[in-house]
């Protein structure tokens, strides 16, 4: 099953901290790690790791990071025909802070990701046409996201939009044209102006989006599980209890694995369950893409947790 990811890539610069420094303070962090990240790239690598045939449409910069990012995609078996370099611009980078509970805060500097334009979708048209699903996030210009949604509609290809990072500039009208809308609890709260701290609140907030015309709203709630909210009802997928060391990239792990499973079977709740296991295993290791498990590991985990 061929899946297209039209989106971002970043270089993750992760500091493992004991606490956030206050203004003007210099604080030592015990550990640091660098790796390939970016929401689009993470989702592409997660889908490919779970067995999907992935086509990546993204832009890298004119720096040392670019070749490493391309080589990383290729190592994961991802088609890099439409991964292009932008002269005179840096690659996207993301300083990440992970606290002792494994919770993360992320800054992004989009760099070359800002240069991904509708023309890049046109350039990839022949290959995109044969894809069974298009995945989008919001680390590239909104005009490109909207163009990709229209492309999906025109070619009858389902579109999954991960509204991350959340922005109120996102047109809900455009998002309604997507088949899946997949925010996490923070993004859902920003987009709806509603509190999202419990499963009940998440359902209410997701319901408000469904009332505005969004189709399949899937909310990822980290350690609380995930919710599918549609016009016909709500399905809750329970979480797998694990010892979380680093939650960064877990939402992307869920989305990539979900996309792979859904494209193969069309079974949404089952794809959510497998994605939940994939994401749960990812938080037991450090890093974003580096923490993603192999398919065999996920299947064994699912067998043992029945």
For ligand RIB, the binding residues (CB under 6 A) are: 10, 12, 37-39, 42, 94, 106, 108, 139, 248-249, 251-252, 288
> CB–CB of 118/131 below 8 Å?
no
Is 120 or 252 the residue whose CB approaches ligand RIB more closely? 252
- The contacts of residue 85 (CB under 8 Å, 6+ apart) are 59, 60, 61, 62, 66, 112
Q: Is 252 tagged catalytic?
A: yes
Residue nearest to ligand RIB (CB): 37
CB of 186 to ligand RIB, least distance (A): 11
Specify the residue, 96 or 271, whose C-beta has the smaller distance to ligand RIB: 96
Rounded to the nearest whole angstrom, what is the least distance from the CB of residue 211 to ligand RIB in the complex?
28
CB of 246 to ligand RIB, least distance (A): 11
Cα separation, 198 vs 224, in Å, equals 8
Which DSSP symbol is given to 196?
-
Q: How far is the CB of 287 from ligand RIB (least distance, A)?
A: 9
Pick the catalytic residue from 120, 122, 252, 267: 252
| CA distances from residue 263 to 56, 132, 188 in whole angstroms, order as listed | 16, 6, 24
- Residue among 59 and 157 whose Cβ is closer to ligand RIB: 59
| Residues with catalytic function | 252
């Amino acid at each position: 099953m061929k899946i297209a990811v039209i989106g971002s890539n970043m270089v993750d610069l992760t500091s493992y901290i004991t606490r956030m420094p206050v203004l003007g303070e210099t604080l030592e962090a015990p550990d640091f790690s660098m790796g390939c990240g970016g929401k689009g790239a993470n989702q592409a690598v997660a889908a490919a790791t779970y067995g999907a045939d992935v086509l990546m449409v993204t832009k890298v910069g004119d720096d040392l990071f670019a070749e490493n990012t391309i080589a990383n995609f290729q190592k994961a078996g991802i088609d890099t025909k439409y991964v292009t370099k932008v002269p005179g611009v840096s690659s996207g980078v993301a300083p990440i802070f992970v606290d002792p509970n494994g919770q993360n805060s992320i800054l992004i500097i989009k760099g070359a990701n800002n240069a991904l334009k509708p023309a890049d979708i046109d350039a990839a048209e022949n290959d995109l046409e044969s894809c069974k699903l298009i995945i989008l996030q919001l680390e590239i210009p909104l005009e490109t996201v909207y163009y990709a949604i229209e492309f999906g509609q025109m070619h009858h290809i389902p579109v999954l939009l991960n509204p991350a990072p959340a922005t109120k500039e996102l047109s809900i009208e455009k998002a309604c044209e997507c088949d899946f809308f997949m925010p996490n609890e923070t993004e859902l709260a920003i987009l709806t102006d509603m509190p999202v701290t419990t499963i009940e609140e998440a359902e209410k907030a997701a319901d408000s989006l469904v009332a505005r015309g969004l189709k399949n709203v899937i909310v990822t709630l980290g350690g609380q599980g995930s919710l599918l909210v549609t016009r016909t009802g709500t399905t809750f997928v329970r979480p797998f209890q694990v010892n979380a060391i680093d939650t960064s990239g877990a939402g992307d792990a869920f989305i990539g694995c979900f996309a792979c499973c859904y494209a193969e079977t069309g079974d949404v709740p089952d794809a959510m369950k497998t994605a939940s296991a994939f994401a749960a295993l990812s938080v037991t290791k450090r890093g974003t893409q580096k923490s993603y498990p192999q398919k065999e590991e996920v299947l064994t985990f699912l067998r043992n947790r029945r």
